[in-house]
């Protein structure tokens, strides 16, 4: 199973995938902010959808933070490795 097995476009570079992921994270954050604003102003019809949008944004941010932490740890491990 190659990169296509996990939904990555064939031939996409790491930078492109990272950029797409960051845009997706930003979109989730924006959606949660709009939903919270709508709830605060009384324009939201379904409070459950607002909570879901906020939870999705929170989980996406936690995932991004975990990936960043693991990437930094890996980067540091590579530089500590003696050849």
The tens digit of pLDDT for each residue in 35-74 reads 999 999 999 888 999 999 999 999 999 999 999 999 999 9
What is the distance between the terminal CA atoms of the chain, rounded to a whole angstrom? 32
Provide the whole-model pTM. Answer: 0.71
60 close to 28: Cβ distance less than 8 angstroms = yes
pLDDT band at 3 (very low <50, low <70, confident <90, very high): very low
59 close to 25: Cβ distance less than 8 angstroms = no
CB atoms within 10 A of CB 36: 16
């Amino acid at each position: 199973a190659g990169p296509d097995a996990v939904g990555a476009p064939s031939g996409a570079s790491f930078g492109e995938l990272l950029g797409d992921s960051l845009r997706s994270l930003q979109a989730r954050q924006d959606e949660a902010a709009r939903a919270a604003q709508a709830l605060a102003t009384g324009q939201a019809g379904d409070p459950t959808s607002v909570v879901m949008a906020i939870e999705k944004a929170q989980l996406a941010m936690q995932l991004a933070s975990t990936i960043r932490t693991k990437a930094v740890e890996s980067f540091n491990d590579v530089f500590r490795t003696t050849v």
